[in-house]
């Protein structure tokens, strides 16, 4: 599994990292909310361990902003606090589980595994013509092979695939995929549509097209005949 730890206490972060690595997991650590905010959106983690008290922003506020941006990764909150009211606040903000420090490492491990299983269950694969968008592995599979997608490519294709046949404006795509605070050029959407078209073509994606709607945006169209008929 790929796990992100957001924890400012160096000793705790080190213990968690070492323990999880010994179990064969790949671990990244962020020490501030600011560093974690973008990291969690860029890299597809199986589980995030989030400390409540961070130096720059509290963990609950960070979690709320992730959920508003559509991040669905399971999050387990770690905290020194243990009162029921705070646990409820954490869960309402979108936490999937909660553990008070000090905790038993084996119990933490069991809960992380349970969360990853649950998370995996909602990350379904989507069928786009004769292509399969595999959310779990973030790859696009065709009749003869597959190609990995970057996080942005994956988000963009998921967004268009989730609204197939509908025209999505560039500004809508920009805010869903790059976030409302993105300050670069909106042309980035066109560039990524180009990357996706090349990958679809390379995989011989029949019946799937990313159509340009001049002056407005894009739509994903799946030819009904190829839908579901994988060759
Ligand atoms: Ca802390």
DSSP the chain: -EEEEE---HHHHHHHHHHHHHTT-EEEEESSHHHHHHHHHHS--SEEEEES--SSS-HHHHHHHHHHTT----EEEEES---HHHHHHHHHTT-SEEEESS--HHHHHHHHHHHHHHHHHHS--EEETTEEEETTTTEEE-SS-EEE--HHHHHHHHHHHHTTTS-EEHHHHIIIII-TT--S-TTHHHHHHHHHHHHHHHTT-TTEEEEEETTTEEEEEE-TTTTT---
Q: How far is the CA of 49 from the centre of ligand 1 (A)?
A: 12
Find the CATH number of the domain harbouring 88: 3.40.50.2300
Query: Domain range for residue 18?
Result: 2-119
Query: In this structure, are residues 28 and 43 in contact, taking their beta carbons and an 8 Å threshold?
Result: yes
Q: How far is the CA of 8 from the centre of ligand 1 (A)?
A: 5
Predicted pLDDT of residue 1: 87
Same domain, 115 and 129: no
Same domain, 207 and 139: yes
Give the residue from 79, 102, 119 where a domain finishes: 119
Q: How far is the CA of 112 from the centre of ligand 1 (A)?
A: 19
Same domain, 96 and 9: yes
Predicted pLDDT of residue 32: 96
Number of domain units in the chain: 2
Predicted pLDDT of residue 117: 78
Query: In this structure, are residues 164 and 220 in contact, taking their beta carbons and an 8 Å threshold?
Result: yes
Q: How far is the CA of 54 from the centre of ligand 1 (A)?
A: 5
Same domain, 209 and 104: no
pTM: predicted TM-score of the whole model, two decimal places: 0.55
Find the CATH number of the domain harbouring 183: 1.10.10.10
Q: How far is the CA of 95 from the centre of ligand 1 (A)?
A: 17
Same domain, 70 and 162: no
Same domain, 112 and 136: no
Q: How far is the CA of 51 from the centre of ligand 1 (A)?
A: 6
Same domain, 97 and 196: no
Predicted pLDDT of residue 217: 95
Same domain, 72 and 165: no
Same domain, 161 and 79: no
Q: How far is the CA of 10 from the centre of ligand 1 (A)?
A: 9
Predicted pLDDT of residue 123: 58
Give the residue from 104, 119, 134 where a domain finishes: 119
Q: How far is the CA of 32 from the centre of ligand 1 (A)?
A: 9
pLDDT one digit per residue (tens) for the chain, 231 residues: 899 999 999 999 999 999 999 999 999 999 999 999 999 988 888 899 999 999 999 999 999 999 888 788 899 999 876 667 777 788 888 888 889 888 899 999 999 988 887 765 445 677 888 898 887 788 999 988 999 998 889 889 988 987 888 899 999 899 888 877 778 888 899 999 999 999 999 998 888 999 999 999 999 998 866 554 443
Same domain, 110 and 13: yes
Same domain, 29 and 102: yes
Q: How far is the CA of 61 from the centre of ligand 1 (A)?
A: 14
Predicted pLDDT of residue 202: 94
Q: How far is the CA of 59 from the centre of ligand 1 (A)?
A: 9
Predicted pLDDT of residue 229: 45
Q: How far is the CA of 216 from the centre of ligand 1 (A)?
A: 45
Q: Distance between CA 55 and CA 33 in Å, rounded?
A: 8
Same domain, 107 and 181: no
Predicted pLDDT of residue 120: 57
Q: How far is the CA of 181 from the centre of ligand 1 (A)?
A: 26
Q: Distance between CA 78 and CA 100 in Å, rounded?
A: 6
Give the residue from 88, 119, 150 where a domain finishes: 119
Q: How far is the CA of 90 from the centre of ligand 1 (A)?
A: 15
């Amino acid at each position: 599994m790929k796990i992100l730890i957001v924890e400012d206490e160096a000793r705790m972060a080190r213990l968690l990292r070492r323990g999880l690595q010994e179990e064969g997991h790949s671990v990244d650590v962020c020490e501030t909310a600011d560093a974690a905010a973008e990291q969690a959106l860029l890299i597809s983690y199986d589980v995030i361990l989030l400390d409540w008290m961070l130096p720059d922003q509290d963990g609950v506020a960070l979690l709320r902003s992730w959920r508003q941006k559509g991040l669905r990764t399971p999050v387990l909150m770690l905290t020194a606090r243990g009162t029921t009211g705070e646990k409820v606040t954490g869960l309402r903000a979108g936490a999937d589980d909660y553990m008070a420090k000090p905790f038993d490492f084996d119990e933490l491990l069991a809960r992380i595994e349970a969360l990853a299983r649950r998370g995996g269950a909602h990350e379904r694969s989507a069928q786009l013509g004769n292509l399969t968008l595999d959310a779990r592995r973030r790859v696009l599979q065709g009749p003869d092979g597959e190609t990995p997608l970057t996080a942005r490519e994956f988000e963009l294709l998921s967004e268009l695939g989730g609204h197939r046949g509908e025209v999505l404006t560039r500004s809508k795509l920009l805010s869903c995929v790059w976030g409302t605070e993105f300050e670069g050029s909106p042309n980035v959407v066109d560039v990524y549509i180009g990357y996706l078209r090349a990958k679809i073509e390379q995989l011989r994606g029949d019946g799937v097209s990313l159509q340009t709607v001049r002056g407005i945006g894009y739509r994903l169209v799946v030819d009904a005949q190829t839908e579901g008929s994988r060759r």
